[in-house]
Amino acid sequence: MAKQSLLQKIDPRARIACTLLFAFAVVLSEQLIALIFALTISVIVAVVAKLAVAKTLKKLAAMDIFMLYLLLMLPFTVPGDGFIMLFGFQGSWQGLEQGIKITLKANAVVLMLFATVANLSSSALGSALQALKVSNKLIQLLLFTLRYLSVIEDEYKRLRRSMRARAFVMKFNWHSWKSIGNLIAMLLVRSMHRSQRILKAMKCRGYNGQLVSYLPMRWQPIDSAYCAAMALLTTVIIVINFIHVS
């Protein structure tokens, strides 16, 4: 059995609240040094959380493909001091810097989410959000989405298999687009029917529209220490921004 990481011992409420504060500080940061420091913190937390390296890098790579597009496009769309001329378009240092900042922000926040929140169970996440006084409807919407996205994905795969069994090959023509439209329509119809069956089953088990948490939560000294450490690191990020601005 894999040894539990130190981060998994932290109360879910502390992990969610600290991650939210960290994300706000990172998103509002505009100094490269502060963003590099924030990304370093996220990497350290990910190591402490014992995230699977290959799996985590694969997920980040999927996001960074879009970030690469920004890095290529922003230099030619943001005015400033030119450093390259390509097909008559001038690339600016300011645009490149803005692209790097967005990339650092995205990677720092997403990696922190992977390390602290993504490994929470649905029950722990719902209970923690309820304890943090988040809207009950919003919590249920989030939990149902997390639970049934995989179900919708399975339904999509079944429909795609049935299309391939009928020798369907995707091409850039009217028949293909019509078939994909029918696929999406069938997916919506089946999802609606399944949701109605699920609602009836939940009502039979006493569901009344309210989230009931059965997961006990106890605040411990290690949770206070974690909050203090994250608050200190977040403050350092904010201070770095103010120092370099002044």
Q: What is the pLDDT of residue 2?
A: 47
pLDDT of 1: 38
23 and 46 assigned to the same domain: yes
| Measured distance CA(100)–CA(56) in Å, rounded | 20
Domains: count for the chain = 2
Examine the domain organization and report whether 114 and 175 are in the same domain.
no
Residue 76 shares a structural domain with residue 40? yes
| Per-block mean pLDDT, blocks of 10 residues, the chain (246 long) | 71 92 93 93 92 89 88 80 69 83 93 90 84 86 85 90 89 89 92 89 84 78 93 93 72
Same domain, 91 and 30: yes
Same domain, 60 and 140: no
pLDDT of 45 reads: 93
175 is a domain residue? yes
Residues 118 and 225 both lie in one domain: yes
The domain containing residue 30 runs over which residues?
Answer: 10-122+221-245
Are residues 144 and 117 located together in one domain of the fold?
Answer: no
* pLDDT score for 245: 59
